[in-house]
Amino acid sequence: MISIQENAIFIADSHYPHHGDAFLTLLQQIECGEIQTSQLFLMGDNFDLLFGYNDYIQTFSEEVIALLQRLSQTLEIHYFEGNHDFCLEELFSNMNIYRRDVQPVSFMLGDKRVAMSHGDKYETGIGYDLYCKILRNKTTLTLLRPFQKTIINHRMQKLSQKKICQPFHGFEKRVESILAHYTDADLVIEGHFHQSRKLGKYISLPSQACQGLVAVAEEGEIVFKSL
């Protein structure tokens, strides 16, 4: 089982490019050595919309894609696909890519077993599960390619106006339901909810787009901070 290293960085829900350049800036700081880490966890929805088998969608995020491809040559990167970024294996061939259907993935933090997921795996409903299976599929994405510009332009316009930073009322209840699926984990780390909270063994990562924070492994703990 892979160990989470000291100073590992966790970046969740950056929603690039519509919600600021913090994701791009942080990656640039890592590349130039201003920020030191040997392990990077991208926890999903780092892009507002990005998927494989499609060249056109890449044009909206070319600079970050190229930067990640360079970083992955020398840096250990784990990418947990989210509901906005998926089918990324061919795009980021040097990374460890985790599709929704293989999440959660277990790591070790010292002697603690840590289960990690983007956060949209459990307590989402049958309809959402079916939607994910249909959409996150090479055949589906290939069949939609003739209509790609119309569909993608419309979707990107909608996403640019979406308000993604808001409190989650009843979040404690949701976490309680989610944790029922994680009985063998000492810690659970998820993104997706943009909440930046710790509830018992559950760590809801900050959204880089909303709170302007990431998480860092420091002395066996997961700490929220600005880099």
6-30 per-position pLDDT tens digit: 999 999 999 999 999 999 999 999 9
DSSP class of residue 16 equals B
pLDDT in tens, 186-198: 999 999 999 999 9
Residue 141 has what pLDDT?
83
Residue 135 has what pLDDT?
76
Model confidence band, residue 203 (pLDDT cutoffs 50, 70, 90): very high
CA distance 223 to 221: 6
DSSP class of residue 92 equals T
Residue 145 has what pLDDT?
81
Instruction: Judge whether residue 70 has pLDDT over 90.
Output: yes
CA distance 6 to 144: 43
- Is 19 exposed, middle or buried, given 0-12, 13-18 or 19+ CB atoms closer than 10 A? buried
Model confidence band, residue 171 (pLDDT cutoffs 50, 70, 90): very high
Mean pLDDT of 120-135: 82
The proportion of the chain whose per-residue pLDDT surpasses 90, expressed as a percent, equals 80
Mean pLDDT of 162-180: 94
Residue 172 has what pLDDT?
96
Q: Give whole-number Cα distances, 100 to 9, 77, 104, 176, 188, in Å.
A: 21, 17, 8, 21, 16
Model confidence band, residue 202 (pLDDT cutoffs 50, 70, 90): very high
The proportion of the chain whose per-residue pLDDT surpasses 70, expressed as a percent, equals 100
Instruction: Judge whether residue 127 has pLDDT over 90.
Output: no
